[in-house]
Amino acid sequence: MRALTKLTAGPGLELVDRPRPRCGPADVVLRVLRAGLCGTDLHLQEWDDWAAATVSPPMVIGHEFYGEVVELGVDVTGIEIGDRASGEGHIVCGRCRNCRAGRRHLCIRTRGIGVNRDGAFADYVALPASNVWVQPRDLDPDLGAVFDPLGNATHTALQWPMVGEDVVITGAGPIGVMAAAIARHAGARYVVVSDASDYRLALAERAGADLTVNVTRESLADAQRHLGMQEGFDIALEMSGAAPAVTDLIDNMNHGGRIALLGLPHQGYQLDWGKVITHMLTLKGIYGREMYDTWYAMSQMIATSAPLRDAVTQVITHRFPAEQWEEAFATARSGQCGKVILDWS
């Protein structure tokens, strides 16, 4: 099969011929139809310090995917050949304290598809049946391929009730834009999104943001004045991993405000802990998706809300055949894009 592979330690990837994955007794094999590019994939191509410390080549990369079930392990039930499905990319141990308590997203031995085991930038991918999320037959394959990042957005945005709240989202990458759409769907009063890219801020506007802030020209305080807000933001979703963004949002939170942090910083940074304490702010780190409450939530929201479905779909701005993967990666790295999809069909 074709597979986009990190063959050796160092920068670069190669589209090569690899053996089709084996199907274990509790596994499912999908024929990949679509796969989404993630910032993680760019790190793996560049081979930065994180990649060098995490990945053991050779490794087929890619962890956002949608495909057709073509093979079932002998112990698999509830899934049929021909089903269309997305995949939860975090594989958990099932034995640690959190797994046994049903908090699988907190598993201390989580392994990532496309990072710690062969992934989905290939014609076929194998994964545990428990990680398969069967989708409706009429779901747009492109949309099925972005359920992983949509799950990140859903997990982050739905940490706290949003009805009537003023919400700020720092970072208008695809996940931040999806989070804006979810905040609008969930009943926020105002949704403000900040970023340094006018291209991506335009996507946030189309997703339902009331106001966007280009941080090279304005601040969140300016946004509050534009909207006539008398108090700070009630909820913040930090998607950028940028220290100035975190500083700005802490300065503009209402007392008792709640901050969910998904964006991973490149290095540590200082926080005004005095303000966090005296303003009684809640900070919560978010990683991945709750398995599988987040999957249920996003599936039902997408199925029952055409405006939300359209808002998420418009985040997908570029599509490339698998053979044009280099152009796809260059587009994703440019920042002049939303979500980039590889077509493996």
CA distance 73 to 121: 22
**Does 11 have pLDDT greater than 90?**
yes
Fold for the domain defined by 153-285:
Rossmann fold (3.40.50)
Residue 97 neighbours by CB under 8 Å, 6+ apart: none
* Tens of pLDDT, residues 116-170: 999 999 999 999 999 999 999 999 999 999 999 999 999 999 999 999 999 999 9
Q: What is the pLDDT of residue 88?
A: 98
Q: What is the pTM of this model?
A: 0.95
Quote the percentage of the chain above a pLDDT of 90: 98
**Does 306 have pLDDT greater than 90?**
yes
Q: What is the pLDDT of residue 56?
A: 94
Q: What is the pLDDT of residue 266?
A: 82
Measure Cα distances from 70 to 18, 64, 130 in Å.
18, 18, 16
Q: What are phi and psi of 166, to 5 degrees?
A: -95, 120
Task: Report the catalytic residues.
Answer: 40, 43
* 34, two tokens: 């679509």
Is the peptide bond between 58 and the residue preceding it cis, with omega within 30 degrees of 0?
A: yes
* CATH number 3.30.70.420 is the correct assignment for the domain at 2-146+315-343: no
* Tens of pLDDT, residues 250-296: 999 999 999 999 999 988 899 999 999 999 999 999 999 999 999 99
Domain coordinates of the chain in residue numbers?
A: 2-146+315-343, 153-285
Q: What is the DSSP letter of 257?
A: E
Q: What is the pLDDT of residue 339?
A: 97
Measure Cα distances from 45 to 54, 62, 145, 203 in Å.
13, 11, 20, 26
Quote the percentage of the chain above a pLDDT of 70: 100
